[in-house]
Amino acid sequence: MRALNAGGTVRITSQLVGASRSDDKEKKPQNDLAEQHKDADDEESTTKSDTLDTELFGVAVDGKSLRGAIKQDGRCVHLFSAMTHTERVVIAQNEVSHKTNEIKAFRPLLEDMDLSGVVVTADAMHAQRDHAEFLVTEKHADFVLQVKENQPSLYNAISTLEETAFSQHYSETNKGHGRYETRSIRVSSALDGLLSFPHVAQVIRIERTVDDLKTGDELSTETAYYVTSLEETRASKAKLLGFIRQHWGIENALHWVRDATMGEDRSKVRSGSAPRALATLRNLVISILRLAGVTNIAKGLRSGSRNPARALALLAL
C-alpha cells in the first residue's frame, strides 16, 4: 500500500481498490442479517444476478467536521473522504475550504481515481446532476444516491409513484440492542427516461421499521428514496440494499472510530494543515489494521502499543 500526496489530498493508490474487488473479507457484525425474507420474484432475480453482483464494488463518500480544530474565524476544519465498502479503507481525503462546501469538493476528491466498474454511494447532498454526469460519463462509474427534499422535483416524482409501479419487496431483518430492525427495498424503472436527472435507471424505496424485541411493539418507521444508474439486470435488490447499508459504514467504521477510539474531536490542533495530516494518519492506521483483518480497532491499537514489534510487522518492517 502506497500513499501519495497530490495537491493536499492524501490518496492510497488504486491497487488497493483492485485488491478489494478480488478479496472480500469483511466480517458481518454478530446477529447481522439474522433473518432474510425473500419473495418468489427475488429468488429468481437474485439467482440471475449473483454473478453480476460479485463484480460490483462500492465506495462511499462523506464529510466530517473536526470539532476540536476550530480556526480563528470560529469554523471547524471539515474533511471529505472516500472509503471502500468492503475493507472499509480510506482511499482519498480532502479538506473542504470554508469558502465552499462538499458539493464542490466532490469532483476534486474523485477525479484522479480509476472508478471504472465502481459504484459510488453518497447522501442526499450529492444527489446532483453534475455529480451523476461526472461519474457515469467521465469516470465510467455508477451511483446510488439518496434523494431528499433538497431536490424537490426529483423527490416528488419518486415519492408519489403508484404502488403498482414498484417491484415486489426484498427484506432483511437484524436483531440486536433489544430490537428488531427490518429494511425492505422496492425498485422501479417507471421513471426511466422521464427524469431530468441524468443516467437514472431505477428509483429505490427503502422502508425501515424498528420493533421492540420483547413486546413486538413498533418503535419507529421511516421511508427513504434513492436513485441509481444500475439497471435491474446488473444489480439485484439484495445488492442495492447492501450498497445503501454499507454506505453508512463510513460513519460508524471510520468517523466514529476516529472520535471514540482515537479522540479526534478532543484534539485542539488547528494550525495550517496539521488537523488534516493527523486525520490522515488516523485513517492510515485504521486502514492498515483493517487490511490485516483486525475488526476491533481499539483492541488492535492496544495490542500494537504493548508490543511495537507487532505494529512493525504489519508494515513488513
Q: Looking at residue 186, which CATH number applies to its domain? A: 3.90.350
Q: With contact defined as beta carbons under 8 Å apart, do 178 and 31 qualify?
A: no
CA distances (Å), 184 to each of 170, 187, 206, 240, in order?
A: 6, 10, 6, 11
Q: What pLDDT score does 53 carry?
A: 61
Strand partners, 12: 3
Q: Using one digit for the tens of pLDDT, what is the confidence trace for 187-230?
A: 999 987 678 899 999 999 999 999 988 888 888 999 999 999 99
Q: What pLDDT score does 52 carry?
A: 55
Q: What pLDDT score does 280 carry?
A: 93
> Whole-prediction pTM value?
0.81
The number of distinct structural domains making up the chain is 1
The Cβ of residue 60 has, within 10 Å, a number of other Cβ atoms equal to 25
Q: What pLDDT score does 188 carry?
A: 96
User: Structural domain of residue 159, as residue ranges?
Assistant: 3-314
CB within 8 Å of 141: residues ≥ 6 apart: 115, 116, 117, 118, 119, 120, 135
